[in-house]
């Protein structure tokens, strides 16, 4: 009797967690866990409930009742009592997979991630088909910043329950977030071969195609998603981006308006809406959406970082600084917030403090080219040219298409009379961004020094044309809005 009740409790919590939180909870954990630690209890409160091992039904009534009681205590956050019960169960049955999994959730909520991992792994040695423990490990590895292991665990859950739409979405979304676009497309193709994928998965497929630069296929996927679910906000936002890529501003705005009515009560969707609005240069839409997201979830640093990026577009350096500092109060090690605050201080010529924040960001995330670029700008302003050369070079190695970094490095080489390298970098920068008048101005200077007067005159003509068109000489340039969920 108790084993049956336990199974029902677990199944009930599984359905409730999936319906209420499901995809949004996972994508939120994914987005922030890859950047910085997140609230552990948010990720693990109900994860133990996904699927109980088959062997639980074979336990005695008293044993099952204790586990049921522990599960209920965890649900209402009475953690010490749940821990005491589970320790008692494991003392008599040290290989009880369900108890091990439950105790693992307790350890995860306590921030004792290594112990949680050991408990989940122990549970899986007992029962490799225990999908709940695999899913818990998937979340755990996100928190430990080991997303490749998360992929492996989600693949195990998918193997055990291939028809579970929520797991398919989580795996596809993670592959997309990791930039493994071809793998994401291939996985969804496999799902499609066994049946009709849900609208959310089709929207992810559209996102993957859009990231691959295949707007036509992206549009096809989004339309299929909308045919199955006309109010799918992700697909509508995707169609807005497709329309933007095709230069159809009117359609892009129309899709954004349709999505706007669907996101009012979800902080996560408000954030995603704002990211697309920012790309469409709908700054007021982006600002109001993010301000509402912050009101609904005031402790989410990423929403504040995005809001600060919107204020930069105004531009309002002082308001953006205030918002970025608030984000760092919530999450002091948020690398993107550190980078943005460093940029704002750089624009205010507060070089020592700007450098401090940017160096913190670089230590936290050494794969962000903008951080090294801004550090290079500061080094240049402080007459540390050799250091600036190295920093601009780092930015270019991380992002070869970073036009501003090529131009800045070329200008430094020109100053150092290294004309061959200056030519290489300045021509690369001008090719990547033909509207950068600073690149053309420096090329004009370079060609004059190289006794190529016709080319020098041609470059100055470009500078004058850009000036007449209202495109002034570029300065540092903005790092751009934070990247939202794909």
Q: What confidence tens digit (pLDDT) does each residue in 401-420 have?
A: 999 999 999 999 999 999 99
- How much is the pLDDT for 350? 95
pLDDT for the residue numbered 201: 95
Instruction: Quote the pLDDT of residue 323.
Output: 96
Give the least confident one: 61-65, 74-78, 138-142.
Answer: 61-65
Specify the DSSP element, H or E, that contains 229: none
* pLDDT tens profile 290-305: 999 999 999 999 999 9
How far is the C-alpha of 315 from the C-alpha of 476, rounded, in Å? 14
pLDDT at residue 60, as a whole number: 56
Q: What interhelical angle do 22-33 and 165-177 show, nearest 10?
A: 20
In this structure, the number of other CB atoms found within 10 A of the CB of residue 282 comes to 20
Of 9-13, 65-69, 76-80, 155-159, where does the model show the most confidence? 155-159
Could you tell me if 83 and 105 are in contact, meaning their C-beta atoms sit under 8 angstroms apart? no
**CA geometry: angle at 189 spanning 183 and 193, to 5°?**
145
Q: How far apart are CA 124 and CA 133, in angstroms?
A: 7
C-alpha pair distances (Å), 358 with each of 115, 336, 448: 34, 9, 36
Decide if 361 is inside a domain: no
Residue 377 belongs to what domain range?
A: 367-468
In a domain, 237, yes or no: no
| Residues in CB range of 453: below 8 A, 6 or more apart | 447
Q: Is residue 280 part of a domain?
A: no
Name the token pair of 226. Answer: 């909308």
Q: Is 52 a residue whose pLDDT tops 90?
A: no
d(CA 232, CA 255) in angstroms, rounded, equals 11
Task: Please compute, for residue 102, the number of CA atoms within 13 A of its CA located in the half-sphere on the CB side.
Answer: 36
Kindly state whether residue 97 falls inside one of the protein's structural domains. yes
* Rounded Cα–Cα distance for residues 104 and 92 (Å): 17
Domain boundary among 113, 130, 161: 161
Domain count, the chain: 2
CB 308 within 8 A of CB 295: no
Tokens 């755990």 appear where?
140
Q: What percent of the chain has pLDDT over 70?
A: 84
pLDDT digits (tens, 9 = 90+) for 215-224: 999 999 999 9
How far apart CA 47 and CA 141 sit, in angstroms, is 14
Residue 10 in this model has a pLDDT that exceeds 50: no
Work out the mean pLDDT of the chain and round it to a whole number: 84
Alpha-carbon gap, residue 327 to 294, rounded angstroms: 11
Domain-ending residue, one of 133, 161, 189: 161
pLDDT at residue 61, as a whole number: 66
Single out the residue in 161, 184, 217 at which a domain terminates: 161
Token pair for residue 336?
């993107």
End-to-end Cα distance, the chain: 46
Lowest mean pLDDT among 97-101, 192-196, 358-362: 192-196
CATH number, residue 453 = 1.25.40.10
pLDDT on residue 44: 44
Mean pLDDT across 42-65: 49
In a domain, 44, yes or no: yes
| pLDDT at 475 exceeding the cut of 80 | no
Q: What number is the average pLDDT over the span 381-401?
A: 94
Task: Decide if 329 is inside a domain.
Answer: no
**pLDDT at 473 (0 to 100):** 54
Report the pLDDT averaged over residues 379-406: 94
Residue 401: Cβ within 10 Å count: 11
Does the pLDDT of residue 5 top 60, yes or no? no
């Amino acid at each position: 009797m108790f084993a049956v009740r336990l199974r029902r409790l677990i199944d009930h919590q599984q359905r409730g967690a999936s319906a209420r939180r499901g995809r949004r909870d996972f994508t939120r954990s994914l987005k922030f866990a890859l950047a910085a630690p997140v609230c552990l209890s948010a990720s693990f409160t109900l994860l133990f409930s996904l699927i109980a091992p088959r062997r639980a039904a074979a336990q005695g009534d008293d044993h099952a009742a204790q586990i049921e009681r522990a599960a209920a205590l965890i649900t209402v956050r009475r953690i010490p009592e749940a821990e005491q019960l589970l320790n008692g169960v494991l003392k008599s049955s040290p290989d009880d997979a369900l108890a091990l999994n439950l105790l693992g959730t307790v350890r995860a909520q306590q921030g004792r991630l290594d112990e949680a991992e050991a408990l989940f792994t122990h549970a899986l040695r007992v029962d490799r088909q225990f999908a709940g423990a695999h899913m818990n490990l998937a979340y755990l590895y996100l928190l430990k910043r080991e997303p490749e292991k998360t992929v492996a665990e989600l693949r195990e859950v998918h193997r055990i329950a291939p028809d579970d739409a929520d797991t398919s979405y989580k795996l596809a979304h993670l592959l997309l977030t990791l930039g493994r676009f071809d793998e994401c497309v291939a996985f969804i193709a496999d799902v499609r071969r066994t049946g009709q994928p849900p609208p959310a998965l089709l929207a992810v497929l559209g996102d993957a195609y859009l990231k691959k630069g295949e707007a036509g296929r992206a549009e096809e996927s989004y339309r299929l998603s909308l045919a199955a679910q006309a109010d799918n906000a992700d697909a509508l936002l995707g169609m807005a981006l497709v329309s933007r890529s095709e230069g159809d501003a009117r359609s892009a705005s129309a899709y954004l308006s349709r999505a706007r009515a669907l996101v009012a009560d979800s902080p996560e969707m408000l954030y995603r809406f704002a990211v697309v609005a920012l790309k469409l240069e709908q700054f007021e839409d982006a600002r109001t959406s993010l301000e509402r997201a912050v009101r609904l979830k005031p402790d989410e640093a990423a929403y504040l970082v995005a809001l600060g990026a919107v204020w930069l577009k105004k531009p309002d350096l002082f308001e953006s600084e205030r918002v970025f500092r608030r984000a760092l109060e919530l999450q002091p090690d948020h690398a993107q917030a550190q980078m943005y605050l460093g940029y704002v201080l750089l624009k205010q010529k507060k070089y020592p403090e700007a450098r401090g924040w940017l160096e913190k960001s670089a230590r936290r995330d050494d794969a962000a080219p903008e951080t090294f670029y801004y550090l290079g700008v500061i080094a240049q302003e402080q007459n540390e040219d050799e250091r600036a050369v190295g920093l601009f070079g780092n930015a270019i190695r991380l992002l070869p298409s970073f036009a501003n970094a090529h131009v800045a490095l070329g200008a430094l080489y020109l100053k150092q009379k290294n004309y061959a390298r200056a030519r290489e970098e300045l021509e690369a920068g001008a090719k990547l961004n033909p509207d950068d008048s600073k690149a053309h101005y420096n090329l004009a200077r370079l060609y004059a020094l190289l006794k190529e007067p016709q080319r020098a005159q041609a470059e100055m003509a470009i500078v004058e044309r850009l000036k007449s068109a209202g495109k002034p000489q570029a300065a540092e340039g903005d790092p751009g809005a934070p990247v939202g969920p794909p």
